[in-house]
Structure 1
Amino acid sequence: MSKPRHVLGISGGKDSAALAIYLNDRYPNINFEYYFCDTGKELDETYQLIERLESYLGKKVLKLENEELKSSNEDPFDYYYKSFRGYLPSPQARWCTAMMKLKPFENFVKKDPAISYVGIRGDEEREGYISREANIQSIFPFRRNIWSNDVLTRFFNPENEKAVADYFKNYYNGKRYDRQLDILAEPIDFNRNNKTATEKALKQKINRSLDIGIPEFNRTVFEFLKTTEYPLATELDFELLDNEDVLIRDDIFRILRESGVGVPEYYNKIEFEVDGEKGEYARSRSGCFFCFFQQKIEWIWLYEQHPELFKKAMQYENEDELFTWVPNESLAELIKPERVKQIKKGHIDRSNRKKSKSSPYLLDILEGTERDGCNTCFL
């Protein structure tokens, strides 16, 4: 197996941009390849961020597209929108993700072994995109646990218990070693019918093992990987094994500001007022300006801050066929004055409830939408 490539997708959002800066500064010896899957429907701020990032990194961010688009004069979204005969993408039919994100990415990597670096933060509870291709391995540098669940499912499989116990010997001794053996011996059921229980047990094992020592645990997993077909199996060492950093949302904004790359304008909150009550709105994500995962308050933000783009989004809807961006409601209905007022008031109420709970995520005022949606698009 050849040496793995180190690839990092730039979505145009804050997390992937901060990850590129963080890894570039901390691990200058790794030859990172940066790529961007352009849908043709991004906000201008996305392209501006990528330009500033290229300047900081001293490297181009490669724009990916599928082969069939090269002979077309259309942007990716419009090309596939017509191919799907006007059927809008949705959470249930994410052809936009499949055709404009995953396909060009996997064509870019081909069959080369590759480490894909993913910008999921330490304050997020989600796994992120894991390729089904065996030659692509995901790593999560911002998290306490850098490994993906597919790796750790194999690591903690009872069939591998004896081998893993031997690997632990190389990095633990005494009571610390005994504690790892106890964790390893705890029963875990990998029956597909008990998926929730399995995930809970796996998470507990991971966290308890990390409590005993992060670098040691990482090096044990790394030794185990040498018996597998994962891309890291051929490496003599991996620089991130000793990294104990856990980066959260505040850290992301700090990295972007201190680097000079800056934060995309659409994250900046804008104040509005309804019946004497004040609220704030912003965009919670990168990606297409008409992303179906965005919440209704974000649609109102788009309508008021980028009316020309809102009109373009309306043109894709077909109410007769019930093809609308928002389920059971067209954008024309969404922007009726009373409806706008209702959405804004509801958003103020939800924001106030979060503040009253002293949430550690008060910056995420958009109903937690930053953690929803397509993991591939919004990393």
Structure 2
Amino acid sequence: MTRHILGLSGGKDSTALAILMHKEVPQMEYFFCDTGKELPETYEYLERIKARLGIKIEYLNAERDFDHWLEVFNGVLPSPRVRWCTRKLKIEPLEKFVGDDKAVSYIGIRADENREGYVSAQPNIYPVYPFKERGLVKSDILNILDDSGIGLPSYYEWRSRSGCSFCFFQRKYEWVKLAEKHPEEFAQAVAYERDHKDGRTYTWTQGETLLELIARKDQVIADHEKAIAKEKKTSPKLSLAEVLESVLDDEDDEMPCLACHL
């Protein structure tokens, strides 16, 4: 028997895919790779999805948590070049969940995205891309979310990607807003930069520590608001969430981990 699986990240694309597929594939197994370091808004959004669609979501946890692997990697924080968090906390729990079973994995990459991005090399897990197959683009995904009544997660008011609270793919404005909205999570991210037995310092953002970034938060916010105003004027038909995403993508368009950010 072939299993059908769909990973939810707490982001808009995987959620829209679940909405699209839950009636077409009633045997679908939904899962969320839970690092234990997610935003509270992510858990709230997953509860909303379960309630609206009437589905069960399997929460997958790694046998060892982030702090364990941080010690194994000698305090080296994950980064775009060293994404050990994705491998240890997302991909390996998924592969254990599937085991040796044949599985079709439904991936929420849109037709307007130029990436493949399947995260597992296991030959028994076969990826399919329903959005690409149907030619669905970002506007279609937003319509699916609106029509379902699920909408966007609340963190889209200040952040355009799902993932851990201290994800290294966050832009500078998102770090500033994390400090404002979730000071405990921000303090933990600061501690991860600073607290190492050998006295070394690692940074989540290139060129400065989080405390240095926060020291100039007024300028970061001012620059962001100026960019938002310009984007609104240039593209008046975009929603507020789309304006935010466009501005943040202009600041940093590096592609995030697909296991976390769909």
Corresponding residue to 2:140 among 251, 257, 270: 251
Corresponding residue to 2:173 among 273, 294, 297: 297
Q: Give the Å deviation of 1:249.
A: 2.4
User: Take 1:371 and 1:88, find their aligned partners in 2: how far apart are those partners?
Assistant: 18
Amino acid across the alignment from 2:45:
L
Aligned to 2:70: 81
Q: Tell me, yes or no, if structure 1 residue 132 matches structure 2 residue 8.
A: no
Report the 3-state secondary structure (helix = DSSP H, G, I; strand = E; otherwise coil) of the residue aligned with 1:35: strand
Aligned to 1:4: 2
Q: String of CA shifts for 1:318-350, please: whole Å, max 9, x gaps.
A: 2842311112211110111xx213323333454
Higher relative contact order (CA 8 A, sep 6+): 2
Corresponding residue to 2:79 among 87, 90, 101: 90
Aligned to 2:110: 121
Using structure 1 for the length normalisation, give the TM-score.
0.61
CA distance change for structure 1 residues 355 and 90 in 2, over 3 Å: closer, same or farther? same
User: Take 1:83 and 1:313, find their aligned partners in 2: how far apart are those partners?
Assistant: 18
User: Take 1:61 and 1:305, find their aligned partners in 2: how far apart are those partners?
Assistant: 27
User: Take 1:341 and 1:287, find their aligned partners in 2: how far apart are those partners?
Assistant: 25
Q: Give the Å deviation of 1:20.
A: 0.5
Report the 3-state secondary structure (helix = DSSP H, G, I; strand = E; otherwise coil) of the residue aligned with 1:366: helix
Native 8 Å contact 2:176 2:217 kept in 1: yes
- Residue-pair matches, total: 253
Report the 3-state secondary structure (helix = DSSP H, G, I; strand = E; otherwise coil) of the residue aligned with 2:145: helix
Report the 3-state secondary structure (helix = DSSP H, G, I; strand = E; otherwise coil) of the residue aligned with 1:46: helix
Q: Tell me, yes or no, if structure 1 residue 24 matches structure 2 residue 13.
A: no
Aligned to 1:364: 246
Give 4+ residue runs of structure 1 displaced > 6 Å after superposition. none
Aligned to 1:378: 261
Using structure 2 for the length normalisation, give the TM-score.
0.86
> Aligned-pair RMSD on alpha carbons?
2.4
User: Take 2:220 and 2:44, find their aligned partners in 1: how far apart are those partners?
Assistant: 30
Q: Give the Å deviation of 1:130.
A: 4.4
CA distance change for structure 1 residues 350 and 106 in 2, over 3 Å: closer, same or farther? same
Name structure 1 gaps, 5 residues minimum.
70-75, 147-244, 269-281
Aligned to 1:163: none
CA distance change for structure 1 residues 308 and 88 in 2, over 3 Å: closer, same or farther? same
CA distance change for structure 1 residues 332 and 371 in 2, over 3 Å: closer, same or farther? closer
CA distance change for structure 1 residues 372 and 351 in 2, over 3 Å: closer, same or farther? farther
Corresponding residue to 2:89 among 69, 80, 100: 100
Q: Give the Å deviation of 1:55.
A: 2.2
Q: Give the Å deviation of 1:132.
A: 1.5
CA distance change for structure 1 residues 121 and 39 in 2, over 3 Å: closer, same or farther? same
Native 8 Å contact 1:130 1:137 kept in 2: no
User: Take 2:145 and 2:254, find their aligned partners in 1: how far apart are those partners?
Assistant: 20
Q: Tell me, yes or no, if structure 1 residue 15 matches structure 2 residue 4.
A: no
Native 8 Å contact 1:124 1:371 kept in 2: no
User: Take 1:130 and 1:316, find their aligned partners in 2: how far apart are those partners?
Assistant: 26
Bigger Rg over Cα: 1
